[in-house]
């Protein structure tokens, strides 16, 4: 048996919480778009005959994104010493700890749906290749994974302090 149950909630957030939620939705959109850009770069390189691994699954995209976000391609600074020599230091994405990896999983699911639709293995209307998300055209959202750390789940339904009709989420942010 087993399986997962998904819930969708509307949050009545305070103004400061709205800022944090919007920041996380933006980080998720950024991660999705960057994963899609990494995928397209790999596909273009493969078409040119360059031997490259194309990150297609959710885990492959997570690994590609995690290696990118710590690299000089994601961010760098130039450090000059007193002698005048300049060194390039890879800083990566400064707020990389806040980026949710579920966006890479979402892109992986979209790629699977596209491939199955293309082969005729998916019922319903045809699904197009995933496209970049735009701030103005895309509904702001992000998903979080329910993990268990130190014996406590990051998402709890019916927490005793909030009553049976409450949902407790892990802290958003760093």
How many domains are contained in the chain?
2
- Looking at the predicted structure, is the pLDDT value of residue 172 above 60? no
- Looking at the predicted structure, is the pLDDT value of residue 67 above 90? no
CA distances from 98 to 25, 78, 125 (A): 10, 24, 35
**What pLDDT shows up at residue 132?**
92
- Looking at the predicted structure, is the pLDDT value of residue 154 above 80? no
CA atoms within 13 A on the CB side of 168: 13
Same domain, 64 and 44: yes
Same domain, 26 and 111: yes
Same domain, 43 and 28: yes
Pick the range with the lowest mean pLDDT from 4-13, 65-74, 107-116, 125-134.
Answer: 4-13
- Asked, for residue 75, whether it belongs to a domain, the answer is no
And the tokens for 82?
A: 């007193």
Same domain, 66 and 106: yes
- Asked, for residue 127, whether it belongs to a domain, the answer is yes
Same domain, 56 and 32: yes
Same domain, 66 and 148: no
- Asked, for residue 115, whether it belongs to a domain, the answer is yes
**What pLDDT shows up at residue 76?**
77
Query: Whole domain around residue 45: which residue ranges?
Result: 15-70+102-143
- Looking at the predicted structure, is the pLDDT value of residue 44 above 90? yes
Residue 49 to residue 43: CA distance in whole angstroms? 10
Residue 39 to residue 34: CA distance in whole angstroms? 9
Same domain, 66 and 126: yes
């Amino acid at each position: 048996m087993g399986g997962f149950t998904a819930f969708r909630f509307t949050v009545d957030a305070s103004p400061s919480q709205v800022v944090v939620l919007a920041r996380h939705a933006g980080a998720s959109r950024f991660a999705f778009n960057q994963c899609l850009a990494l995928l397209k770069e790999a596909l273009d390189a493969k078409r040119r005959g360059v031997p490259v691994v194309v990150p297609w699954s959710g885990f492959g995209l997570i690994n590609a994104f995690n290696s990118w976000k710590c690299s000089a391609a994601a961010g760098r600074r130039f450090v000059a010493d007193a002698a005048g020599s300049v060194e390039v230091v890879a800083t990566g994405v400064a707020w990389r700890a806040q980026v949710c990896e579920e966006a890479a999983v979402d892109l992986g699911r979209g790629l699977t749906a596209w491939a199955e639709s293309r082969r005729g293995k998916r019922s319903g209307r045809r699904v197009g290749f995933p496209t970049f998300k735009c701030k103005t055209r895309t509904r702001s959202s992000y998903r979080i994974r329910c993990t268990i750390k130190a014996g406590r789940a990051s998402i709890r339904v019916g927490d005793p302090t909030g009553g049976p009709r409450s949902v407790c989420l892990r802290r958003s942010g760093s």
